[in-house]
Amino acid sequence: MKRPTPHSATALYATAATSAVIGALLWLRSRNNSADSLFLYGSSGSGVHTPSAWRVWSSTVTEERLGMYLLGAALVLALAARLVATWRE
């Protein structure tokens, strides 16, 4: 009989998934600098894209780099969750 996944592993998996989604969105946002991009804000259809003035992080760390950091953290958290799940079995 297989035991259920521990709550700590479930929490780590959820944190990893959230980190990966936020990191991917930040990375896509940083890559969205051209007017002919398919990733648009809203459905205006005018083809004009103005970048947001809202900064997510400090001026020294770009959104692209922060997104990559969050994706890396998601991988580490997923690995830790897997280790916790197998260690508790």
| 2 Cα distance to chain centroid | 31
Dump pLDDT digits (tens) for 46-61. 555 555 666 666 778 8
Count of CB atoms within 10 A of residue 68's CB?
A: 16
- Residue 35 has what pLDDT? 42
- Residue 23 has what pLDDT? 93
Dump pLDDT digits (tens) for 8-28. 889 999 999 999 999 999 888
Supply the pTM of this predicted model.
Answer: 0.68
Q: What is the CA radius of gyration of the chain?
A: 18
- Residue 83 has what pLDDT? 92
Dump pLDDT digits (tens) for 32-89. 754 444 444 555 555 555 556 666 667 788 888 889 999 999 999 999 999 988 886 6
